[in-house]
Homo-oligomer: A and B are copies of this chain.
Amino acid sequence: MRVQLNFKSGVPVYLQIVEQVKAAVAAGSLRPDEALPSVRVLAEELRVNRNTVARAYGELAVQGVVSNEAGRGCFIRDHGQPLRKDARRAMLTQPVDALLVQAHHLRIPPDELLALIQERLRLLEQQKEKDTEP
């Protein structure tokens, strides 16, 4: 489970965690009964207060995405099939539209936006490789 935080966005950290876990579950990359990293491990990994991770896990439990079992850990609950690809794809349309609107406001033409996206894509891939290597 790879969580990417953006501390400058103003979006509460615990919500960023919640959203990314939910997305991973929807995609099937987190399987039922799979364990999430422990609160303190994830907190240290993200350099975030333990309470923040605990709150995220609590929120996920309330929403029925995971089940917190005291003393054992935090496990993905069974949700039947993960969403089919077109459903997951549909979950992206709103954020995509938001990005297009913002680009339009900034008068960045579509081709430049696409170039920017591919540039960032390459950069994120490189980071992933670095993290995996050592």
Contacts and interface: CB of A to CB of B under 8 A. Distances in A.
Contacts of A102: 19-20, 22-23, 26, 91-92, 95
Contacts of A105: 2, 20, 22-27, 29, 65
Interface residues of A, number: 56
Interface of A: 2, 4, 6, 8-12, 15, 19-20, 22-29, 49, 62, 65, 71, 81, 83, 85, 88-89, 91-108, 110, 112-114, 116-118, 120-121, 124
- The complex is assembled from copies of this chain, and their number is 4
Contact of A22 (B83, B101, B107, B114): B101
Nearest to A12: B10
